[in-house]
Copies of this chain bind each other. A is one copy, B any other.
Amino acid sequence: MEFFFNPQGIAVIGASANPVKGGYFILKNLMKGFKGSIYPVNPAYPEIDGLPCYPSVTDVPDPVDLTIIFVPAPQVPRVLRECAERGIKGAMIQSGGFAESSVEGRQLQDQIIEISRETGIRIWGPNCMGLVDAVHDYVFSFVLPAIWEKGLTTGNVSLIVQSGMLSAGFLIDIMSNGIMGISKVCSIGNKADVNECDILECLIDDSDTGAIGLYLESIPDGRRFMDLCRSSQKPIVVLRGGKSQKGAEAARSHTASLAGNWAVISGALAQVGVIEAFDFKQMMDLCRSVADYPAFQVKDNRRVAVLTMSGAAGIVSADFIEQHGLSVADLSKSTVDALKQIYPPWMPVANPVDLWPAVELHGRKKAYNLAFQAVFNDPNVDAVLFHSFVGGPASRIDMSNLVEMAKQSGKLLFGWLMGKRTEAHKFQMKARELRLPVFGELYRAVECMAAVLSREELPEPGSSGIFLTETTSDKTRLEKMLTDATGSLDEYKSKQILSLCKIPVVEEKIVSSASEALEIADRFGFPVVLKGLLPGEIHKTDLGLVRTGISSAEEAAGVFNELHNIMSYNGSILLQKQIQGDPELIAGLIRDPQFGPCVMCGFGGILAEVMADSVFAAAPLNISEARALIGRLKTQKLLNGFRGFTALDRNALADILVRVGDLAVAFDQIKEIDINPLIVCQGKPVAVDATIIIKNTMA
């Protein structure tokens, strides 16, 4: 892939001398900063802007390892083949008219994929804006040269953007606003060959890149994407379009992307430490924040000091800090004492630190220096948020000095800025140079601080060290049960399988007569439950086949007979001990088209309907990963012991989730596992009902 990013020579096929055409822009953009050889190819011109122009790529001299193709789609297969024959390694096809447009376009795209396979030439695009590399000053694109008219704003954020129009919009906005410094912006278009994973892999290894932002509408190769993110030391931010039903429909028609199960993808991304963005500029704000503090690790101490000139802005900052799970730092005595030196005697020292009265008394410089030094030295402070009102009183801040102090203290420094438009812009530009994240909206400033402060080390992936079954005979039995099974297994069979995998299931037994029901019920103790199981029947309750609260052996015998009648003496009857507990959970497994087998865990019963609190992770999991998954449930309160209930044994639940994942990984024929409810009884989860669905092998 190196030839895409650092080619020695580039042939521009479809170069033009017409100064309003894309074929001219490509040349102009290359001439701006590309240091290698540039070879315009077009039989119509002997030279363009002083560069010799070649009738065909065959005539281009060495060195040439990359081509940018910008001729009408129908000509592309022919020139692509010529390029491959000429020994060119990579082609950025920026022309449109392929799979995104028509049936003929899709055929053309299939042809170029075939040429790539045959000859080994790699294809970036088609239908893309190419690459902008601000650090190297490379613009491999037909975008308007206007984007770099004031220079490229250099930094360490790289972007991968599926949509061409959007990447152009991003570029223009970013470059002219100068708030975020860019390393590489990669517009990957139809992804005929090179896809987001290929580029992500390059950017993870790119020494100019500190953080990577991606706009995606689908993640077709979910597992490779996850592996790359997991291996990355660099923070990765993803904005996904198509989360809502209407958004997903639009995505389908935009890039033929199947948006997929949003909760599954969110889970998979969280599992590998990806930060999720929800809006375009917010994604860029998150990117520049995490890029500037890539390895910040405060663990459980997220204590923020706020330095402001406005009490009101301090108050609202405190509200936001608490809202984001950070805490307003309790200043240490030494900080309080230091601030007392500059505060008027009537004013209590507190955090947020309102500096205005101190500035009035002692001047800006003295008050600022003393206050910032105090909070940076404070062992109770992990991060500092300062406010600046540019163009207002005492607005000049020695940013270099602040950044230096922050660096020496090892603490996070973020700023919120409001004030005069031009001065604020200058402030932003200076802040960008100093890698100081500064924001125009207070909420965003705190949100981005929280993104940095909340980055946690991922649990080590790898084997759970758990054996799915206890003995070789259990293993043989499990294999036999799953080999013989088809379709939707009844709850008894499903739980037998779970039980073989050492997942705790409720005490239960198939009873074949009223007298056996009577006897077993007595042995289990009351209340008990009787259920009629009919092959393939999944609506037991609706048919009156579930009877709970049976409180005597005689009743059990009676109900047995009733069920037998309802089922016309078919099926079988299951007697269960009725268990009480709280909360009611759900666990399960689905196979996602993008991310493969994924373990699910969530709340059941009435809570499932009102809160929709369930989380997913790609299987297999180990215990640490399973515990992390449990930790992502929103309603932690219910797990920590509640109204007299014992706290959940998280290891016991994690063990179940690991086994569910391992089971599905070991047996590919399992399509779905649904344990519902999984009742937590004295802290221990027990599977009370379950369904395992086996793939239809006939299909």
Asked if B310 and A241 sit within 8 Å, CB to CB, the answer is no
Which chain A residues (306-365) contact chain B, with CB distance < 8 Å? 309-316, 318-323, 327-328, 344-348, 350, 352, 354, 356-357
Contact with B along A283-321 (1 / 0, CB 8 A): 000000000000000000000000001111111101111
Partner of A610, one of B166, B245, B282, B637: B637
Closest to A105 in B: B346
Known contacts being A215-B312, A254-B314, A311-B254, is A101 close to B346, with CB within 8 Å? yes
Contact call A169/B421, Cβ cutoff below 8 A: no
Interface size counted on chain A using CB atoms at 8 A: 93
Partner of A389, one of B168, B255, B311, B440: B168
A610 to chain B, nearest CB (A): 5
A443 interfacial by beta-carbon distance below 8 Å: yes
CB under 8 Å from chain B, chain A span 174-200: 176-178
Q: Identify whether the interface residues of A are mostly helix, strand, loop, or mixed.
A: helix
Minimal Cβ-Cβ distance residue in B for A636: B610
A117 within 8 A of B: no
| Residue interface mask A604-618, B partner, CB < 8 A = 1 | 001101110000000
Q: Which chain B positions have C-beta within 8 A of A637?
A: 609-610
Which of A138-172 touch B at CB < 8 Å? 144, 146, 161-163, 165-166, 168-170, 172
Return chain B residues, CB-CB under 8 Å to A172: 389-392, 418-420
A393 within 8 A of B: yes
Q: Does A241 lie within 8 Å of B441, measured CB to CB?
A: no
Contact between chains at B315 and A217 (CB < 8 Å): yes
Of B170, B178, B247, B609, the contact of A315 (CB 8 Å cutoff): B247
Question: Is residue A102 within 8 Å, beta carbon to beta carbon, of the partner chain?
Answer: yes
Give the distance in Å from the alpha carbon of A249 to the alpha carbon of B327 in the complex: 13
**B residues less than 8 Å from A344 (CB atoms):** 101-102
A346 and B103 contacting across the interface, CB-CB below 8 Å: yes
Is A173 in the interface zone, CB < 8 Å from B?
A: yes
> Please, which residues of chain B bring their CB within 8 A of the CB of A146?
391, 420
User: When the two chains form their complex, are residues A247 and B391 in contact, meaning their CB atoms are under 8 A apart?
Assistant: no
Q: Is the CB of B313 within 8 A of A166?
A: yes
B322 touches A247 (CB 8 A): yes
Q: Mark A356-395, 1 if CB is under 8 A from B, else 0.
A: 1100000000000000000000000000000001111100
Within 8 A of B (CB), among A238-274: 239, 241-247, 249-251, 253-255
* A441, B440: Cα distance in complex, Å: 12
Question: Does chain B have a CB within 8 A of A635?
Answer: yes
Whether A642 is near chain B, meaning CB under 8 Å from some CB there, is: yes
On whether the beta carbons of A316 and B279 are closer than 8 Å, the reply is: yes
| Contact A322-B246, Cβ < 8 Å, known A169-B392, A312-B162, A316-B279 | yes
Query: Contact at B607–A610, with CB atoms within 8 Å?
Result: yes
Chain B residues whose C-beta falls within 8 Å of the C-beta of A420 in the assembled complex: 146, 172-173, 176
A403 in the interface (beta carbon within 8 A): no
CB nearest neighbor in B for A387: B169
**Does A638 lie at the interface of the complex (its beta carbon under 8 Å from any beta carbon of B)?**
yes
Chain B residue with Cβ nearest A103: B346
A643 at the interface (CB under 8 A from B): yes
Is A278 part of the contact surface with B, judged by Cβ < 8 Å? yes
Residues in chain B near residue A422, CB distance under 8 A: 176
- Supposing A172-B389, A391-B146, A610-B611 touch, asked if A177 and B318 sit within 8 A by C-beta, the answer is no
Q: Within the assembled complex, what's the spacing in Å between the Cα atoms of A281 and B313?
A: 12
| A387-426 CB contacts (< 8 Å) to partner B | 389-393, 418-422, 424-425
Q: Using a CB-CB cutoff of 8 Å, which residues 582-637 of chain A contact chain B?
A: 582, 606-607, 609-611, 635, 637
Contact A254 B165 (CB under 8 A): no
CA distance A310 to B241 in the complex (A): 12
A169 to B423, CA, bound (A): 13
Q: Which of A658-672 contact B (CB under 8 A)?
A: none
In the docked arrangement, what's the CA distance between A319 and B240, Å? 10
Contacts of A280 in B (CB 8 A): 313, 316, 418, 441-442
Within the assembled complex, what's the spacing in Å between the Cα atoms of A250 and B319?
10
B residues near A322, Cβ cutoff 8 Å: 244-247
Interfacial chain B residues near A323, Cβ < 8 Å = 244
A281 touches B441 (CB 8 A): yes
Contact A166 B310 (CB under 8 A): yes
21 A–B pairs (Cβ distance < 8 Å), ordered by A: A103-B346, A163-B312, A163-B313, A165-B309, A165-B356, A172-B389, A172-B391, A173-B420, A176-B419, A242-B315, A250-B314, A254-B354, A279-B441, A279-B442, A280-B418, A281-B418, A282-B443, A582-B606, A606-B638, A606-B642, A611-B611
User: A residues bordering B, Cβ < 8 Å?
Assistant: 101-103, 105, 144, 146, 161-163, 165-166, 168-170, 172-173, 176-178, 215, 217, 239, 241-247, 249-251, 253-255, 278-282, 309-316, 318-323, 327-328, 344-348, 350, 352, 354, 356-357, 389-393, 418-422, 424-425, 440-443, 582, 606-607, 609-611, 635, 637-638, 642-643
| 7 closest A-B pairs by CB | A254-B311, A163-B312, A244-B322, A241-B315, A247-B319, A176-B421, A165-B310
